[in-house]
Amino acid sequence: MAADTKLQDAKPKADQAPAGRGRTGGNRANGKPCGVAEAHEAYLRMLGDRVRNARARRGVTRKTLSRDSGVSERYLAQLEAGQGNISIGLLRQVAQAMNMTLADLVYEGPERPVEFSLLLEHLGRLSPAELAQAQSILVEKFGQGSDRGDRVALIGLRGAGKSTLGRMLADSREVPFVQLAKEIELDAGMSVSEIFSLSGQAAYRRHERRVLERLVDSYPAAVIEVGGSLVAEAGTFDLLLNTCYTVWLQASPEEHMNRVIGQGDTRPMAGNAEAMDDLRRILSNREALYAKASAVLNTSGRPIDDCFAELTALCPVQSTT
């Protein structure tokens, strides 16, 4: 079905009674009882917010998402505005009729074991603080973080000081300094921009995961500079948290922007008249993810030597083996 399918059919289908007849109920809107219509509209707004926020976390423009997904920019704009295709609402109604979530219904992969569903039910009743505690317990019990202290990963937006401080830290610890983006380029045989242009974001994320797995296997000790959007990929970010001591290099949006421009690179916001608003939105959508790091270092308005001294103090003492 084309992405630009009309939001609702011109004629009622066999399983949809025309508005106002064929079903009992009170006043109707768009062929549905008012309560159902309002719930449907609220759901589409929530879905639009979820798509928009997911796009912001990844730092992806609507134009890029359109290209990678094969869905028109016009439809993506409608979706993010809460005006998604009516078929989404119908699918949700089917899921609700079977006491399932839409996510359960559209999940891609083999059917999950019953223990997984029971665990999700239990986790859904926990507060954010309790969820954080549960995650720590699961990582401690089943994670792979026994030697992560000898690998330090620096995360955060561009312009926070990852390259400069990363090299300094690697020199002081006498371990390799590895830039994940450069390793991805070597793995793909092309530049990052070419990967996105020729193969799309999904291909880049596959390279990113594969390269990180290789780095973890190859370097028992290293300082790794990580791209700012990796945190939006749950599986890859979980691998990073489990195998590296992570430090979020934090800065204000203004300082991020000024540092990147000062380096002569305006690619992230090229041609965008609302660059600062976009940067603030990206940072806002990633803050909760960045905050999962083992430590946080604010580099705003501080001399590089002060930041390096604090970074050195934050990182675990190296293993003597």
In order, the DSSP letters of 101-123 are -HHHHH--SSPPPHHHHHHHHHH
Q: Give the integer Cα–Cα distance in Å for 162 and 151.
A: 15
170/36: higher pLDDT: 170
pLDDT of residue 31: 54
Residue 150 lies in a domain: yes
Q: Of the residues 50, 85, 108, which one is the last residue of a structural domain?
A: 108
Q: pLDDT tens digits, residue range 81-90?
A: 988 776 777 6
Axis-axis angle for helices 201-218, 234-243 (nearest 10): 20
Q: Are residues 210 and 158 part of one domain?
A: yes
* Structural domain of 46: 28-108
* Segment holding 224, helix H or strand E: strand 222-225
Residue 5 lies in a domain: no
pLDDT of residue 291: 92
Q: Are residues 86 and 201 part of one domain?
A: no
CB burial of residue 200 (10 Å; 0-12, 13-18, 19+)? middle
Q: Is 50 exceeded by the pLDDT of residue 320?
A: yes
Q: Are residues 156 and 268 part of one domain?
A: yes
Residue 116 lies in a domain: no
CATH of the domain at 171: 3.40.50.300
Residue 12 lies in a domain: no
Q: Are residues 176 and 306 part of one domain?
A: yes
Mean pLDDT of 215-243: 93
Q: How many domains does one find in the chain? A: 2
pTM of model > 0.75: no
pLDDT of residue 143: 67
Q: Are residues 179 and 35 part of one domain?
A: no
Q: Are residues 154 and 104 part of one domain?
A: no
Nearest to 188 by CA among 208, 173, 162: 208
Asked if 256 contacts 298 with a C-beta cutoff of 8 angstroms, the reply is no
Residue 124 lies in a domain: no
Strand residues in 232-314 grouped as ranges (E): 245-250, 295-298
Residue 141 lies in a domain: no
CATH of the domain at 74: 1.10.260.40
pLDDT of residue 268: 52
Q: Which of 24-28, 134-138, 187-191, 194-198 has the lowest mean pLDDT?
A: 24-28
Q: Of the residues 108, 132, 161, which one is the last residue of a structural domain?
A: 108
Q: Are residues 164 and 74 part of one domain?
A: no
Q: Are residues 271 and 159 part of one domain?
A: yes
Q: What share of the chain is helix, strand, coil (3-state, %, to 5)?
A: 60, 10, 35
pLDDT of residue 178: 98
| Cα R_g (the chain), whole angstroms | 23
Residue 136 lies in a domain: no
Q: Of the residues 84, 108, 132, which one is the last residue of a structural domain?
A: 108
Mean pLDDT of 227-255: 91
160/89: higher pLDDT: 160
Asked if 270 contacts 318 with a C-beta cutoff of 8 angstroms, the reply is no
